[in-house]
Amino acid sequence: MNNNSRRKFLKNATGLVATGLVANSALGSTIQHIKPADEKKEMICRILGRTGISLPIVSMGVMNSNNPNLLKVGWQSGIRHFDTAWNYQMGNNERMVGAMVRELNMDRKEVIITTKILLDRNLKKPELAKERKAQFMARFAQSMDRLQMDYVDILMYHDVSTLEEVSDPVIMEAMQELKDQGKIRFPSFSTHVYWPELLTAAADQGFYDVVLLSLNYSMAGDEASLNAMRYAASKGVGMIAMKTQCQQDWYKQNLPAETQRFYEGSLMHSALLKWALRNEQVATAVPGFTTFEQLQADVDVAYNLEYTQDEIKFLEDHNVKLAIQSVCRFCGGCKGTCPHGVDIPALMRTHMYAASYGNMHITRSTISGIEQGRGLDVCEQCGECVAQCRNKVLIAGRIEELKSMQV
């Protein structure tokens, strides 16, 4: 199947799904495995650190999708790893992943399922260890009930942002118990902010086999992050990249007309995904595609990481670089610049969920997860924003946008 036929095939799949003409039971036999333009090419696979799991370099971050047929076409296209979480779509995301595995009658050993447990921030205090473990276990049980599975392959402690969380003995104890009971295979955590230090700590400590981290082109040249990844890889930690393409087109409206062409079609998506995956420390990425066209573009990348001439022009374009530098990379460099102690990286992440993903559920749950007294409510009482980004993020502008979105 060449590129054109593949596009046609997915377009057809989209149309059929939209009109409801493809019954779920028929989907498996209707949709064929997507093959690369060059039939000799194979999907690129990498080993996920010491887990030894071999994965195609493109997985599916299910977070933003509520279309079960998108997952099924993803599977038929060769995707073998699906990433969900306890808090996505109020549990419906996990239900959808579990239903896909059953409906396509998958051999459970052939599919890798990740889920994540988010804890209430107010339970993170050391003295609330008992309550924290109880909530972790209760939410895990809920996840398993929704997934209808005996085990998950990778269980993540979701949204870890401090060294204390990385070395929290209570969560490690809970994960170890679940592992001993055969309910999880590999303990892991996800992290959005300050992660070089967290990743290094995890690598030294040796408990977490996998780390899910945000990585995108705005971090090109960020040696602290890249060195931490090299170090973690040398210690056997498997790394999965998230947020590889998100936010990057939010600033395009400020660019000259001749630069805008880069943002048409799938060029931006494939260039940015390739950039992240050309880093061989990344075993796989979990792009959160929501359309069949995006799935097509991401699956194409899994076969070929060579840049096209246009992708090189996009990545090297001065205006594109400037726009991308204004994307928050959650480095934590703004810490201490807000006189009221607001958690700015968390607000910038909230902005990304609202503006780039348009996912209001996750936007609100991120806002409500911010420690009391450090959220948007504080900004609303502040006259003028004086917080400073050490990169080029216009914090004041992003906060104004968040306020206007009434999240």
Residues forming the site for ligand SF4 (CB under 6 A) = 328-334, 338, 340, 342, 344-345, 348, 378-379, 382, 385-387, 389-391, 393, 395, 399
Query: Which CB sits closer to ligand SF4, 17 or 342?
Result: 342
Query: Which CB sits closer to ligand SF4, 99 or 322?
Result: 322
Query: Which CB sits closer to ligand SF4, 303 or 357?
Result: 357
One-letter amino acid identity for 244? T
Least Å from the CB of residue 14 to ligand SF4 = 35
Least Å from the CB of residue 194 to ligand SF4 = 8
Query: Which CB sits closer to ligand SF4, 91 or 332?
Result: 332
Q: Is-contact 305 81, C-beta < 8 A?
A: no
Tokens of 257: 């007309």
Least Å from the CB of residue 286 to ligand SF4 = 21
Query: Which CB sits closer to ligand SF4, 198 or 389?
Result: 389
Query: Which CB sits closer to ligand SF4, 226 or 305?
Result: 226
Q: Is-contact 197 252, C-beta < 8 A?
A: no
**Neighbouring C-beta atoms of residue 277, cutoff 10 Å:** 22
Q: Which residues of 229-267 are buried (b: 16+ CB within 10 A; e: fewer)?
A: bebbbeeebbbbbbbbbbbbbbbeeebeeebeebbeebb
**Neighbouring C-beta atoms of residue 396, cutoff 10 Å:** 16
Least Å from the CB of residue 214 to ligand SF4 = 11
Least Å from the CB of residue 392 to ligand SF4 = 8
User: Which runs of E-coded beta strand occur in 266-367?
Assistant: 282-285
As a whole number of Å, the end-to-end CA separation of the chain is 45
Query: Which CB sits closer to ligand SF4, 57 or 385?
Result: 385
Tokens of 277: 């995956």
Least Å from the CB of residue 219 to ligand SF4 = 10
Query: Which CB sits closer to ligand SF4, 89 or 326?
Result: 326
Least Å from the CB of residue 390 to ligand SF4 = 5
Query: Which CB sits closer to ligand SF4, 11 or 390?
Result: 390
Residue with token string 């502040």: 382
What dihedral angle (degrees, nearest 10) is formed by the CA atoms of 282, 287, 293, 298?
A: 0
Least Å from the CB of residue 381 to ligand SF4 = 8
What's the CA gap between 300 and 34, in Å, rounded?
A: 9
DSSP 47-91: E-GGG--EEESB-EE-TT---HHHHHHHHHTT--EEE--TTGGGG
Q: Is-contact 243 270, C-beta < 8 A?
A: no
Q: Where are the alpha helices (DSSP H) in 148-244?
A: 163-166, 169-180, 195-205, 223-234
Of 103, 104, 109, which Cα lies nearest the Cα of 81?
A: 109
Least Å from the CB of residue 215 to ligand SF4 = 14
Query: Which CB sits closer to ligand SF4, 286 or 338?
Result: 338
DSSP 8-state class, residue 171: H
What's the CA gap between 97 and 211, in Å, rounded?
A: 21
Least Å from the CB of residue 333 to ligand SF4 = 3
